[in-house]
Amino acid sequence: MQLSKDLLNLLIEICVSIEVITALIATICYTKYKKTKALKYILLFIWYVVLNDFVGLYFRYHTGNNSLQYNIYNVITFSFFLLLYRFYLKNKTKKKLVLIFWLIYLVAFIINGFYENYFDQSQSLPYIIGAIFLLITIILYFIEILNSEEVLSAKKNLLFWISVGLLIYYVGNIPFRILRNYYAEVTDATLAILVNLTVGVVMYTCYIIGFIWSDKRQEF
């Protein structure tokens, strides 16, 4: 299965448009979570994602290479979410574990630079490591919710919906990322792109539900 360049670009632009909608809704609903100690920074992060992808589209159309930009983006993304969850996890052992995850990811990213050029190659192994660590961290967060009274009001918790979106995105994305990078000869790149765009749309839909449905009285 092969998509035309125009159709592929259209799908990417649709995904970016959904990111913009998410950012606008996050801005409108900011009063719900602006008094939180850490989650309030999700607004800045989402607008950063929007700006990053607009710049990424520019480089994609004009230079054909935006590897450095997205390598930096991945470092910021994994660092942001790992540290965000570390802040909200209550168990000290889990907090230390997430900190170790973050440090291992950063070391892996630095070391991998000796094998894959930051400027013209996507950092494959660090991405997979970071994504797996983030999935584990999200699962630890869900376990804490299930073992507390917060489970009764989870659907009104913004971080819960963000977690659902992230979980769906990386569970759907990691297998194709591994196949695309290490088993390229048996992987349809078009299918991988479609899966990535699809889970991206689902993730931002979960974000939107969270921003609209969450209760401003909820303590995140």
Alpha-carbon gap, residue 118 to 112, rounded angstroms: 9
pLDDT in tens, 68-79: 889 999 999 999
pTM for the model stands at 0.91
Q: Where are the alpha helices (DSSP H) in the chain?
A: 5-28, 30-33, 42-62, 67-88, 92-112, 124-146, 158-182, 189-213
The domain limits of the chain are 5-213
Q: Of 160, 166, 171, nearest to 210 (Cα)?
A: 160
What share of the chain in percent tops pLDDT 70?
90
153: Cβ–Cβ under 8 A, 6 or more apart, which residues?
Answer: 215, 218
Alpha helices in 90-157 (DSSP H): 92-112, 124-146
CATH class of 5-213: mainly alpha
> Can you give the pLDDT at residue 3?
58
Report d(CA 66, CA 49) in Å as an integer: 14
pLDDT range class, residue 112, cuts 50, 70, 90: very high
Count of residues in the chain: 220
